[in-house]
Every structure is written in C-alpha cells, then in structure tokens.
Structure 1
Amino acid sequence: MNALENKRILIIGFVWPEPKSSAAGSRMMQLIAFFKENGGKITFASTASKSEFSEELIDVDRKQIALNCASFDVFVSDLQPDLVLFDRFMTEEQFGWRVAEHCPNTMRMLDSEDLHCLREARRLTVLKNKPFDLNNDLAKREIASMYRCDVTLMISEFEMVLLQTHFKVPSFLLFYLPIWVENEKLNLPSFEERSDFMFIGNFLHAPNHDAVVYLKEVIWPLLFQKFPEAKMHIYGAYPTQKIISLHQPKLNFFVHGRAESSFEVISKARILLAPIRFGAGIKGKLLEAMQFGTPSVTSSIGAEAMNGDLLWNGFVTDSPEDFADRAIELYQNKTTWFDARQNGFEILKNRFSKDVFEDSFREFLSDKFKNFEKYRNENFTGLLLMHHFLQSTKYMAKWIEEKNKQ
C-alpha cells in the first residue's frame, strides 16, 4: 500500500506558490502534485497574502494563518496531520513548536529550497568583502531547524555533503530531492530560428539582482565591444527600480520585466547568460534552459551541483573576459551550440528525471513512516533542541500574543 494513501498533509508555505515567478514556486507545485498523486489529503497554509500571480491550488484545502496566534493551535489540533512540511526553515521557527506541542506524533519535514547560510556567507564575501564564514548566525538557526525536524529535503548534492562534513548533520536526517523534469518531447526552435542572449529570474532573490547588475556593468561592455550586433534581453518578476534603470536600447540591453511564459522567452533565445556570483541550491533558470534546448554560459556557483561528471550545456567560467568570449563563441558556432544543447539533454536524463526521484521519495517516506519512532529517538540532538525551543520560543510567542491583544 502507498505510504501516503489518505495521509493528512499540512504544508506551511513561506508564500503562496508562484511557479511563473520563481523556481521555488515550481518546486512547491511539484511537491503538491506528488502528494496528491500518491493519495495524500493536502492542506496548504500560509501567513502571506496571495498575489495575482499565486497559483490556483486545485483539490487542496487552503488556510490563511497568523503569526503568534493561538488560532493556529486550534487549527492544527483539529486537523491532526500525519505529515507537516515546512517551506524553508523560517516557517519551522514560527510554527514548529506549535506542531510539536499539539501534534507530537506528526512527522515534521523541512524543505530547505537551498542552504540559506551558504548563500549568505557567499553574499557577504562578494558584496561586503568579508571573509567567508559558514558558521554564521543564520547557520545556527538553519541547522537547528534541520535537527528539530524528522527529515530535510535537499535540492543540492553539494549542500548534502557540506551539511554532513562541515556541520556533522546525520545522513538519516537528509534526503536528496532536486527539482525534477518531465520526460516530455518539446517542439524546440533550431539554431537558425533563435536569436539574442537572455536572462530570467525573480528579482526578489538577491543573487538574480546582483547577477544582472554585474552582467550589465562588467560583462556586457566586454561582449558588446567585440560583438556590437549582440542583443541582451532581461526577464523576471518583481524588478526593482535599479534593474529597470539598466534598460539601455542604445547598448542593445533590454529590460522587459515579468515573462508570461518562461518557455516562450527561453526557447526563442540562442543563449542564456547567468553570471551568478553568489547563491546556493540549483538554479531553475539553468534547468529550464536545458529543457528548452538553450545552451548557457554561467559561473561555477551557477552550475554547482547540477551536471555532476557530465559536460555542461555550454561553458562555465568566473572570468568576465572569458565569459564574454565564451558567450560569443557559443552564439556564433553552430557545432559548439548543438553539442552544448545535447549535453543539457544528457544532464536532464541522467540527473533530473522525474521517474527516478518519484520512486525513491515514495520508498523513503514509506520507511520513515514505518520506522518513525526509531528514527526520531536516534535524533537525540533534535529532541534536545526541540525541548529548549519549546521553552523559549513558546513563551516569547505567548508574550507577543498577549501584547497584541492590548
């Protein structure tokens, strides 16, 4: 019998999913679809407000919840879910202790999205010129959250290894589940039918914002000088005024804002450029580029944890001069372009196939439910952290709750 059949699953979302705005939104919709397909009864709850771009959640109960409010205790006590999925560690900090107190036998699962402390350490190094420090305050919060949960879903193999070697997180608390892709045949434009360079990304995400500014100010002048016919198109949700101000038609640099369809804009471009200087996880834009047959030039952090031992679907370089040269080479050489596209298809088939990960995730959950008490007792550090978390966070939340009544 399927381990999820008729299981009550509560997902506490950091935001309401926007799959057309970010890879995080696509990831959440994949998890919801998986739970539904395997017989789970899903409730999605969030403190955030819905936007006009929020996905309509079909056959999913929806609940607006509030921070520091006893109404959540009543809600979760009545629901008594078999599994609670926290969307990023911040939601676990806010609601984990309430779930543990009112539903002690519920499995608590964290979806990390990416390792926030790694992204922050890299950001401070790049933008603030600070020494790389992985043991930052964000790490203490994030790793503690992982211990308090029964399992954390990771999308990056690199981060899986980092957690086990640097932070000594036990392997049984982690499960590798990347964003996966469907094995579907798309009608993709040819080399001759494509033109121009492009970038796409949610600009609320700091690495995307930085990448486009760096692209415009450092890389594009080098590329445009050598290849004045080149055109660069920037797409993405929630562009800031800084991003909008980068629009300069005289330099063939165009900022378009939100794209209605990522397939439309990526598949029409000949090359995707993603000079990502800091970040973590795997990059949805690069995964989609592979799906849509669009080679890319990116940084070592951009390609991190994606291609394994396989050849990249284009070039990986951290030198601005080399980045510009490689982008021009890939754009102009049809043979190099075609080989790069095939490399992308191989990466998808061997490393991101939905069929492989669906089966392994289903088996993993079956084992977790079957041996739930054993796994939880083996995680003594998690039990210890939850005990103290309950004592401190609970009473702080209660104090805020009483203060809000005044």
Structure 2
Amino acid sequence: MDNSLEGKKILIIGQVWPESRSSAAGKRMLQLLEVFQSWNMDIYFGSTAQKSPYSDDLSIFQLNEIEVYLNDERMDQVLADLQPDWVMYDRFMMEEQFGWRVTAQCPQARTLLDTEDLHFLRYARQELVKKGVGTIDDYLYSDKTKRELASIMRCDLTLLISSVELELLVHQFQLPPDILLVLPFLENELSVEEQDEWLPFEQREGFVFIGNFIHEPNWQTVLRLKTEIWPLLRKRLPQVQLHIYGAYPSAKVLQLHNPKENFFIHGRAEDALAVVGQARVMLAPIAFGAGIKGKFVDGMRVGTPNVTTTVGIEAMATAEEWNGFVADEVEEFIQKAVELYQSESSWLEKQEKGRTLLQRSYSKAKYTAIFKESVLLLDQDIDNHRKRHFLVEVFKHHSAQSTKYMALWIEEKNKHKKSE
C-alpha cells in the first residue's frame, strides 16, 4: 500500500476558528492540523464564525484560509473549484450544514467527522442530572441523538475521543465499528527537560480548577465547588486558596469571586500549563460530561495530581491507575483533597501515575500511526468501503434531500431580504 498522502487536499470546515488557549477542543484541532501537515497534505481551513482576538495563528501549518458560506450557493462554487480529496467536519452540525453540498459537488471526496465528544451523550447526562429522575436511557434517545447518529452514518470515518463512546455507538446503537476510530489527545512524550521544570511539592500552593465556561459541565463543576465542596474543605485547610481559571466567564461566574473565602475567579489563563503547574492539586468534581478531559492531560504534563469523580476519569483510566483520587461523595472528595494536599508521599505516587498514563494512553506517535492507516485505506479503496457500507450512501441520499431543501429555503429567504 502506497503510504503517501503528500499533496492530497483536505478541507476542514470548522465550527469556530481554533482557540487552543481557550479550550481543549481548540487544542485538539491544532493537533489534527499538525498531523495533516506532517503527512504533507495541502490544508484548507474555513469557518462561518468570526475570528476572535484569541484565535490561533494558523499560518504555522502552511495552510490556506478560505471563505465558507452558510446557506449560500457561492459555497457550491468554492467546493467545485477546490475539489478536495478529503473534507473534515468539525462536529456534526458542520456536516449537517455542508455535507449535502460536498456530496453534490465533490462526490469522491472522503469525509471525516471529528466529534470532539458525543454531544448527545453529554446532553443526556446533563438532562439526567438536571431532572434528577430515571436513568441515562430515558434521555439518550433524543432528537439530538438522531441527528448526531445520522451525521456519523453519512461520513466515511468518524473520530471519537473516547473508547466509552465507541462502546456506546457499537453496542447500544449498532453502528458498524469500521466507520469509527478512537483518536484521543495526541501528546508528545514528556521530555526530561519538561520534568526537570516541575515545581516540587513544597513550592506549590493552592488548589486549581480550569475549564472554558462556554462548556456547561465546567460551569456546573465550579458551582459545585463553590456551594458543596469549598465551604467544608476550607474549614479543614483554612489558609489554602482555590483558584478558578477559564475562558469566557459570564457575570454569574464572576459573581462567585470571594477573596475573603479564599475563592478566586481569574477568568482566562494566558498559559494554562503554567497556572496548573503552580498549584499543588487540581479539584474537578465533574457531575456530567462526555469525552476525555483536556484539563487532566494538562495536569499530567506538568505533574499536578487531582481529585475528581467517576465521570471525570471515564475512558481515561481506572481509579487504581489514575493520577489522583476518584470520589463521588462530597465527604470522601474532601477527605481525599486534604490527603493529597498534605501528604507528599501520596502526592508523589499520584504524580508518577500521571507520567505513566500520559506516555501510555496519549502517545502522539502511536495514535498518529493508527490514524494514518485508516486514512490510507479510505484514500485508496473508497469505492469498496462505500459498497461495504451502503447504508452510508442511503443516509446521504435521504438526508441530503431534507437538509438540502431546508438550506435552499433559507437561501431564498435571504435573497428576498437583500432585494427588499
């Protein structure tokens, strides 16, 4: 098999312009761009969103930034002119909006869907926590689930961040496993120099939490820290401070700031690794969510152990392997936070586990090779792949009709508005 993807054109339709300093999703996108660049592909990136002052400079990937148009026939021309070999959708909403145009203008383009995490699973868990009744199955079979599954079924390969999500899609929803690929965060090996820079136990101070506030699980985690955990933990460690960092804090987040209680809301961290690396322990009593958590991978990178929940470590490790403690009950959570904060031997043991976990589960070299193998198979044998998975073509056919006509209706409406 020819193992070259050199010169192949890949168009990435981003939900937003990546902000790696704002979210794990932004960091993930940069890791994928780095992979495509290492394969010598010609990268084209476009998003209907506006850039922000925090958007990453993508010029380091030698890519071409292009204009993409939503509900606009000009997008047909963009696709027809570009004729990409590959198209990657950044989350299922992008596939819904642009997939039918890609199918019409570039039927041979291989399609990738990067889920980030399964939106429908996060939504179901959020609903379960909010309503407080029933089981996860009562919330899993939603319209959001139908939309995301349909989107996955229209793509040649879908990237999942977590093995738990793979299990769910294959066993519960009966999706074919060979249109799915688990691709976690892609981390370089920890260098000796990096580890030499880790602050030792006695030079670290305070607890830390970090997470983008646009992401509902992060807001709920901070709320839980403020109302349930910190009032009790502060009594046990009255001199210790808790520092909360996260991009896009709203007024309700900033209102929680209370220096008298040693509870500090800082907003965006200019350097996430630096603020996590100065703290002694990360606290993350996560009640719901999906995927794997970038904040913990950052913690492993800078040798900062954590206390979290069963949801927090999902698909990342077992409780025994974890670089911290796992506790779902408030009392136990506080007890473990105190132990990790005060016991250097316990802290060093958990730090070591993080080092092991990072090398084993997030190796860039290992997972990039697995990803390349899947991409090459599709690149060279797309016709047979699509025959084997003919249902993908059926989904494309039917969905193209519905999403296409909705988009054309919006397009016409917009034209009329302009002419009025």
Contact kept, 8 Å, 1:207 with 1:278, in 2: the verdict is: yes
Provide the secondary structure at the position in 2 that maps to 1:280. Answer: coil
Q: Counterpart in 1 of 2:356?
A: 346
Q: Counterpart in 2 of 1:158?
A: 164
Is 1:76 aligned with 2:79? yes
For residues 296-350 of structure 1, the C-alpha deviation after alignment (integer angstroms, 9 at most, x for no partner) is 0011111100125861101011111111110010000000000000000111111
Q: Which runs of 5+ in 2 are unaligned?
A: none
Q: Counterpart in 2 of 1:177?
A: 183
Is 1:223 aligned with 2:226? no
**Equivalent of residue 65 in structure 1, options 48, 65, 68:** 68
Contact kept, 8 Å, 1:266 with 1:272, in 2: the verdict is: yes
Q: Counterpart in 2 of 1:113?
A: 116
Give, in whole Å, the separation in 1 of the partners of 2:119 and 2:398: 23
**Equivalent of residue 218 in structure 2, options 204, 208, 215:** 208
Provide the secondary structure at the position in 1 that maps to 2:10. Answer: strand
User: Residue type of the partner of 2:99?
Assistant: G
Contact kept, 8 Å, 2:46 with 2:65, in 1: the verdict is: yes
Is 1:321 aligned with 2:324? no
Is 1:142 aligned with 2:138? no
* Matched ranges for 1:97-136 at <5 A: 97-131=100-134, 132=136, 133-136=139-142
Is 1:37 aligned with 2:47? no
User: Residue type of the partner of 1:37?
Assistant: S
For residues 254-303 of structure 1, the C-alpha deviation after alignment (integer angstroms, 9 at most, x for no partner) is 00110000111000000001111110000000111011100000111111
Distance 1:217 1:30, change over 3 A: same
Contact kept, 8 Å, 1:109 with 1:151, in 2: the verdict is: yes
Contact kept, 8 Å, 1:2 with 1:38, in 2: the verdict is: no
User: Residue type of the partner of 1:193?
Assistant: Q
CA apart distance, 1:191: 0.5
Give, in whole Å, the separation in 1 of the partners of 2:386 and 2:319: 35
Contact kept, 8 Å, 2:319 with 2:326, in 1: the verdict is: no
User: Residue type of the partner of 1:286?
Assistant: F
User: Residue type of the partner of 1:172?
Assistant: D
Give the number of aligned pairs: 406
User: Residue type of the partner of 1:293?
Assistant: G
Is 1:248 aligned with 2:254? no
Give, in whole Å, the separation in 2 of the partners of 1:263 and 1:99: 39
Contact kept, 8 Å, 1:147 with 1:379, in 2: the verdict is: no
Give, in whole Å, the separation in 1 of the partners of 2:319 and 2:162: 15
CA apart distance, 1:41: 0.2
User: Residue type of the partner of 2:93?
Assistant: M
CA apart distance, 1:130: 4.5
Q: Counterpart in 2 of 1:27?
A: 28
* Matched ranges for 1:265-344 at <5 A: 265-308=275-318, 311-344=321-354
CA apart distance, 1:381: 1.9
Provide the secondary structure at the position in 2 that maps to 1:90. Answer: helix
Q: Counterpart in 2 of 1:8?
A: 9
Is 1:48 aligned with 2:49? yes
Contact kept, 8 Å, 2:190 with 2:359, in 1: the verdict is: no
For residues 39-88 of structure 1, the C-alpha deviation after alignment (integer angstroms, 9 at most, x for no partner) is 10000010000000000111111123221001111001100000000000
For residues 180-215 of structure 1, the C-alpha deviation after alignment (integer angstroms, 9 at most, x for no partner) is 211132111111111100000100000001100111
CA apart distance, 1:31: 0.4
User: Residue type of the partner of 1:147?
Assistant: M
Worse-matched range after superposition: 120-129 or 102-111 = 120-129
TM normalised by structure 2 equals 0.95
Provide the secondary structure at the position in 1 that maps to 2:201. Answer: coil
Worse-matched range after superposition: 326-335 or 129-138 = 129-138
CA apart distance, 1:122: 0.4
Provide the secondary structure at the position in 2 that maps to 1:64. Answer: coil
Is 1:401 aligned with 2:401? no
RMSD: 1.1
Contact kept, 8 Å, 1:86 with 1:109, in 2: the verdict is: yes
For residues 131-187 of structure 1, the C-alpha deviation after alignment (integer angstroms, 9 at most, x for no partner) is 322111111000000000001001100111111000101011101110121113211
Give, in whole Å, the separation in 1 of the partners of 2:377 and 2:70: 33
Provide the secondary structure at the position in 2 that maps to 1:341. Answer: helix
Give, in whole Å, the separation in 2 of the partners of 1:364 and 1:56: 29
Is 1:358 aligned with 2:368? yes
Give, in whole Å, the separation in 2 of the partners of 1:205 and 1:337: 29
Give, in whole Å, the separation in 2 of the partners of 1:66 and 1:300: 42
Q: Counterpart in 2 of 1:236?
A: 246
TM normalised by structure 1 equals 0.98
Contact kept, 8 Å, 2:187 with 2:364, in 1: the verdict is: yes
Q: Which runs of 5+ in 1 are unaligned?
A: none
Provide the secondary structure at the position in 2 that maps to 1:10. Answer: strand
Contact kept, 8 Å, 2:190 with 2:301, in 1: the verdict is: no
Provide the secondary structure at the position in 2 that maps to 1:114. Answer: coil
User: Residue type of the partner of 1:160?
Assistant: L
